[in-house]
C-alpha cells in the first residue's frame, strides 16, 4: 500500500503549487543568471519548438491512451453490471418458482413478498442501501425459523436462506461494480488535466512560432517549465491511480498476509 502522503500529489492544489514553485525557481534563475549560472542565450527558436513539441507529443499520447483505457474500463464495468443484473433476475425467477411450488404458508408468503419486491427493481434503481421492510421481516423470521424445533420449518428457512443469500451476493456485486463506475470519473478528471497541459503547450508553440524574440523568450521558458512539471506530476498521478486500482484488485493478498 502507498503511504497517504503520496496521494496528495494527485490533488490539483498540490500539483498547481509544485508546478508554480518550480516555475518560479526557473524564473529566478533566468532573472539572475550570474548567481544561478543559467544560460539561455543559446536557446534558439528551433530548439525551443523541438523541446516543447516533444513534451506536447508525450502529453497528447498520454491523453489518447487514457481515453482508450477509460472507455475499456467503463465498458467492462457496464458489461459486468448488466451480467450481474441478468443473473439476479434469473435467480429471482428460480426462487419464485420454488416458492410457488410449496404449499401456501405464512413463511412462504413472506418470502414471496420479498422476492417480488426485489424483482421490482430495475437496473437504474440499483444499488439499494435499503432493501425495504420485507427484507427486515424476512431476516427476523429467518432467525426464528433456524432456531425452531420444527424440522420442516427449519429446512424451509435453510433453503430460502440459500436462495436469498445468493441474491444478496448479486446485489453486493452490482454495488461494487457501481462504485467502480463512480471511481472511473476520477480518471476523467486526470484526463482533463492532460488536455489542459496539451492546450497550454499548443498555445506556447504558436506564440513561439510567431513572436519568438529576446523579450518573450523568458516567458516561453516559464511556460515550458510549468508544462514540463505538470506533465511529470500527471504521470505520477496516473501511476498512483493505477497502483491503487491494482491494490484494490488484490486486496485478498493483504488479507492473507495479515492472517499469516
pLDDT digits (tens, 9 = 90+) for 181-231: 777 777 888 889 999 999 999 999 999 999 999 889 999 999 999 999 999
Q: Please tell me the number of Cα atoms within 13 Å of 49 on its side-chain side.
A: 12
As given in the structure block, the three cell numbers for residue 214 are 529576446
Residues 6 or more apart whose CB falls under 8 angstroms from that of 15 comprise 9, 193, 230, 233, 234, 237
If we measure between CA atoms, which residue out of 89, 257, 238 comes closest to residue 174?
89
247, pLDDT greater than 80: no
As given in the structure block, the three cell numbers for residue 20 are 508554480
Phi then psi dihedrals of residue 150, to 5 deg: -80, 115
Q: Output the pLDDT for position 254.
A: 54
101, pLDDT greater than 70: yes
How far, CA to CA in Å, does 73 sit from each of 93, 170, 251?
A: 30, 20, 19
The DSSP secondary-structure symbol of 215 reads T
As given in the structure block, the three cell numbers for residue 84 are 450481474
Q: How confident is the model at residue 109 (pLDDT cuts 50, 70, 90)?
A: very high
From CA 149, how far away is CA 70, in angstroms rounded?
Answer: 55
For residues 22 and 225, is the Cβ–Cβ distance under 8 A?
A: yes
For residues 170 and 89, is the Cβ–Cβ distance under 8 A?
A: no
For 125-156, write each residue's pLDDT tens digit. Answer: 888 877 788 889 999 998 988 888 888 999 99
Question: Percent of the chain at pLDDT above 90?
Answer: 45
Q: Output the pLDDT for position 259.
A: 44
Q: Output the pLDDT for position 128.
A: 81
For residues 179 and 103, is the Cβ–Cβ distance under 8 A?
A: no
From CA 144, how far away is CA 121, in angstroms rounded?
Answer: 28
Degrees to nearest 5, angle at CA 148 with 145 and 150: 110
If we measure between CA atoms, which residue out of 152, 130, 153 comes closest to residue 143?
153
From CA 132, how far away is CA 215, in angstroms rounded?
Answer: 70
Average pLDDT in the chain = 86
Q: Output the pLDDT for position 260.
A: 46
From CA 76, how far away is CA 220, in angstroms rounded?
Answer: 42
As given in the structure block, the three cell numbers for residue 217 are 523568450
For residues 20 and 226, is the Cβ–Cβ distance under 8 A?
A: yes
Amino acid at each position: 500500500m502507498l503511504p497517504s502522503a503520496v496521494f496528495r500529489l494527485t490533488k490539483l492544489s498540490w500539483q498547481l503549487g509544485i508546478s508554480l514553485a518550480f516555475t518560479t525557481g526557473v524564473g529566478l534563475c533566468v532573472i539572475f543568471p550570474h548567481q544561478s549560472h543559467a544560460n539561455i542565450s543559446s536557446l534558439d527558436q528551433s530548439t525551443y519548438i523541438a523541446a516543447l513539441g516533444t513534451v506536447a507529443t508525450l502529453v497528447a499520447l498520454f491523453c489518447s491512451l487514457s481515453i482508450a483505457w477509460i472507455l475499456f474500463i467503463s465498458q467492462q464495468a457496464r458489461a459486468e453490471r448488466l451480467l450481474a443484473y441478468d443473473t439476479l433476475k434469473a435467480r429471482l425467477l428460480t426462487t419464485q418458482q420454488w416458492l410457488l411450488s410449496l404449499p401456501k404458508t405464512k413463511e412462504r408468503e413472506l418470502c414471496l413478498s420479498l422476492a417480488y419486491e426485489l424483482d421490482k427493481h430495475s437496473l437504474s434503481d440499483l444499488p439499494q442501501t435499503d432493501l425495504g421492510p420485507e427484507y427486515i421481516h424476512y431476516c427476523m423470521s429467518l432467525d426464528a425459523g433456524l432456531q425452531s424445533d420444527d424440522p420442516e420449518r427449519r429446512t424451509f428457512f435453510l433453503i430460502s436462506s440459500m436462495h436469498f443469500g445468493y441474491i444478496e451476493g448479486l446485489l453486493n456485486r452490482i454495488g461494487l461494480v457501481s462504485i467502480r463506475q463512480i471511481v472511473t470519473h476520477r480518471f476523467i478528471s486526470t484526463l482533463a488535466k492532460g488536455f489542459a497541459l496539451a492546450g497550454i503547450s499548443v498555445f506556447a508553440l504558436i506564440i513561439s512560432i510567431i513572436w519568438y524574440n529576446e523579450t518573450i523568450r523568458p516567458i516561453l521558458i516559464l511556460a515550458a517549465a510549468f508544462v514540463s512539471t505538470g506533465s511529470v506530476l500527471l504521470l505520477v498521478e496516473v501511476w498512483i491511480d493505477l497502483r491503487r486500482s491494482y491494490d484494490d484488485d488484490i486486496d485478498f493478498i493483504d488479507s492473507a498476509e495479515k492472517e499469516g
